[in-house]
Structure 1
Amino acid sequence: MRMLVTGGAGFIGSQFVRATLHGELPGSEDARVTVLDKLTYSGNPANLTSVAAHPRYTFVQGDTVDPRVVDEVVAGHDVIVHFAAESHVDRSIDTATRFVTTNVLGTQTLLEAALRHGVGRFVHVSTDEVYGSIASGSWTEDTPLAPNVPYAASKAGSDLMALAWHRTRGLDVVVTRCTNNYGPYQYPEKVIPLFVTNILDGLRVPLYGDGAHRRDWLHVSDHCRAIQMVMNSGRAGEVYHIGGGTELSNEELTGLLLTACGTDWSCVDRVADRQGHDRRYSLDITKIRQELGYEPLVAFEDGLAATVKWYHENRSWWQPLKEAAGLLDAVG
């Protein structure tokens, strides 16, 4: 099997590539993997150092919006796993143009090439944020989309584009929507790595609003294992939810991070909430559990401890990223 992974130098994409080439995902032990990544601020070649010399690995630097590059890269592949996206909510509120361009137009460009070259399956990786906010209960895959911020709106658009290509053009598309990911190699503007690395450097950490916003946390390795299940056995034209089973308020998460880092609330700044900040996300994972046998395996307590330890031990990975982003002397 020849697999094209877009955004494979990012946080989740690189985990998927490493796990595939290290033989950790059943059904892909012999896969040849091509990574297509633009290498924007969050795409990092260092995320793929452990597989850089692997005989079944190829890296191509390029933009999913560029039809010439995409056409050349897609040719000859059996499967596309599409991670590439602009994904930071705050950045999308500041300027939405590149989110629409990358997330919607980039997906369309890939879909066209996949159909043209007879790709056997297109796995489109999305997010729970496309649903907006839910006060109680959980969303099913049939819940109407109601995004509240530009990032989520652009992802909703790309989801609908992918599903439309299945319905109107017959392309074998499956869509996954996940909850909040955490784990090693996550770009340090996100809450867990930002808080951990700030605390390591004696900086303060920001807690939005009243801290009551609630999220479900999913270890990146569980997410990638579920994507593999969907890639292998998911039904064409379907959406599958992927969750971690640990729902926490941002205040509860902050408390756990402070404890894990050996500090207290004296380093926390309560900051003004951002516009359109969704109060709660919650995905019903009954479908993927019943159809594909998915269950999250990484207990949050264990996964968080391992993640904090990783950032403690890998300053050489995150410090240059924070320096480049101007995050070393800011709360985030």
Structure 2
Amino acid sequence: MDVLVIGGTGQTGPLVIQGLVDRGHAVTILHSGRHEPPLPPIEHIHADVHFAETLAPVLEGRRFDAAICMYGRAQIIADALNGKIGRLISISGARYYYGRPDDPRWGPIGAWVADEQSPFSDDAELDRLGSRVFATEQAVMAHHAAGDFDVTILRFPGIYGPGSILPADWGFMRRILDGRTSLLMPDGGLMLRSRAYRDNAAHAVLLAMDHPDAARGEVFNVADDPPELSLAQTILAMARALGREIDFVDCPGWLGHRIYGGQIGFHRLLDTTKIRQRLGYRDKVPLLDALAESARWWRDNPPERGGEVEQKLGDAFDYAMEDRLIAHLLGSAASLDELAVHVTESAHPFRHPKREGEVWTRDSSAKLMNTPFRYPYALRRA
């Protein structure tokens, strides 16, 4: 088929383009020309894809079997492609399920694991960008309803790996590479988040291309196969891939957010049952391999200190301040240990009789529960 890729020069685009070429499709890429990553020999169209006025001239007289929109202004692009394509795969974002975790549409307990029918951010006062993404999806899908062309929407979470544009791991990676052996870990590192390794995200796009009937008119969440690792497990896996051992100092979540920026927050989990059942999605790169490759890439391709990547993070990398916080937290934990004078003595809930008819007693069961509690992942309290 003749396939048009709009954008496609970022983290996942080159992998999608290579996959299309490997499948025998004739690929044309439409992008600004500001970034020219290594790509197979394909046609390039250079234009500003932000505006209908700049898209119309370069698309005049062109026709494609399919288009993949990997750029943000999907509504303008979809309108410009009307009458020029047979189907459109549009990349959207999954973070906007959680623009307002206490959205009453979730129900009385608030946000939980999001499937494709979960409430999507649509309140401009609370989440201006999310409401725009929601409106864009609706406008793009309206072309499908009108019979203009078939539409498939893929909702990406945070994408990680080589060439990462959203540098969610760099704050931790820089500290590890700088020789920090104790890291402040918000909420014990228990935060869970669905993400997608760049190769796996590209694989999802190619599956949507490969299965047009199953993908027609559908919205799919995209993320690495479950189960998700906690934040602490993720950072530990990446550190060990570099041969480093670290420990974590527990701190409140709000403090972690203040230090590391917006990557710290509440759980963001995606239900990916639909894409796995309908399109047969499975990770191309297993999770631990993906994290190891990501860690090695950050080691070999560190961003400029204080440059654009770190400015996006908003991370000051103030190690002197962090050392003061660590000392204070560990001292506070020691003080709390002194205050908690009552020692809990748990007992096994079932009888363990030594002779027939013996009833449950604490003395006979407590010794089965006397293993001292240890925080996981070298999480220090004192």
CA distance 1:160–1:207, change in 2 (3 Å): farther
Deviation at 1:173, TM superposition (A): 0.9
| Counterpart pick for 1:247 among 211, 220, 228 | 228
Deviation at 1:265, TM superposition (A): 4.2
User: With structure 2 as the length reference, what TM-score do the two structures score?
Assistant: 0.65
| Counterpart pick for 1:156 among 134, 149, 164 | 134
1:181 aligns with 2:163: no
Q: Which residue number in structure 2 is paired with residue 96 of structure 1? A: none
Q: Which runs of 5+ in 2 are unaligned?
A: 319-382
Q: Which residue number in structure 2 is paired with residue 101 of structure 1? A: none
- Give secondary structure in 2 for the equivalent of 1:34: strand
1:306 aligns with 2:311: no
CA distance 1:215–1:2, change in 2 (3 Å): same
Deviation at 1:31, TM superposition (A): 2.6
Larger RCO (CA under 8 A, 6+ residues apart) = 1
Q: Which runs of 5+ in 1 are unaligned?
A: 86-105
Deviation at 1:158, TM superposition (A): 1.8
Partner deviation per Cα, 1:76-122 (whole Å, 9 max, x = no partner): 3332211113xxxxxxxxxxxxxxxxxxxx2221111111x421111
| Counterpart pick for 2:268 among 281, 303, 317 | 281
Partner deviation per Cα, 1:7-31 (whole Å, 9 max, x = no partner): 212222233234434x2xxxx3333
Q: Which residue number in structure 1 is paired with residue 115 of structure 2? A: 140
Between the two proteins, the alignment pairs up a number of residues equal to 292
Q: Which residue number in structure 2 is paired with residue 64 of structure 1? A: 49
Deviation at 1:230, TM superposition (A): 1.1
Partner deviation per Cα, 1:258-317 (whole Å, 9 max, x = no partner): 3334152479995345689762222222222222222223211111111212232335xx
Deviation at 1:239, TM superposition (A): 0.9
Q: Which residue number in structure 1 is paired with residue 316 of structure 2? A: 330
What is the percentage of aligned positions where both structures have the same residue?
A: 22
CA distance 1:311–1:73, change in 2 (3 Å): farther
Deviation at 1:174, TM superposition (A): 0.8
- Give secondary structure in 2 for the equivalent of 1:225: helix
Equivalents in 1 of 2:120, 2:136: separation in Å? Answer: 12
Equivalents in 2 of 1:16, 1:126: separation in Å? Answer: 16
Alignment of 1:111-130 (within 5 A): 111-115=78-82, 117-130=83-96
Partner deviation per Cα, 1:205-262 (whole Å, 9 max, x = no partner): 8866765432023221111111111123243221122221242333332333333341
On the 8 A contact 2:2/2:26 being kept in 1, the answer is: yes
CA distance 1:304–1:136, change in 2 (3 Å): same
Equivalents in 2 of 1:243, 1:217: separation in Å? Answer: 5
Code of the residue aligned with 1:30 in structure 2: it is: H
Deviation at 1:125, TM superposition (A): 0.8
Q: Which residue number in structure 1 is paired with residue 218 of structure 2? A: 238
CA distance 1:69–1:197, change in 2 (3 Å): farther
Deviation at 1:326, TM superposition (A): 5.7
- Give secondary structure in 1 for the equivalent of 2:4: strand
Partner deviation per Cα, 1:27-52 (whole Å, 9 max, x = no partner): x333323142474xxxx43xx12x2x
Q: Which residue number in structure 2 is paired with residue 30 of structure 1? A: 25
Q: Which residue number in structure 2 is paired with residue 271 of structure 1? A: 256
CA distance 1:162–1:16, change in 2 (3 Å): same
On the 8 A contact 1:258/1:265 being kept in 2, the answer is: no
| Counterpart pick for 1:190 among 162, 167, 191 | 167
Select the structure of larger CA radius of gyration.
2
- Give secondary structure in 2 for the equivalent of 1:248: coil
Code of the residue aligned with 1:29 in structure 2: it is: G
CA distance 1:57–1:206, change in 2 (3 Å): farther
- Give secondary structure in 1 for the equivalent of 2:290: helix
Code of the residue aligned with 1:286 in structure 2: it is: T
Partner deviation per Cα, 1:172-227 (whole Å, 9 max, x = no partner): 1111113332211113x521244324543558988667654320232211111111
On the 8 A contact 1:6/1:13 being kept in 2, the answer is: no
On the 8 A contact 2:6/2:67 being kept in 1, the answer is: yes
- Give secondary structure in 1 for the equivalent of 2:169: helix
- Give secondary structure in 1 for the equivalent of 2:229: strand
User: With structure 1 as the length reference, what TM-score do the two structures score?
Assistant: 0.73
CA distance 1:286–1:325, change in 2 (3 Å): closer
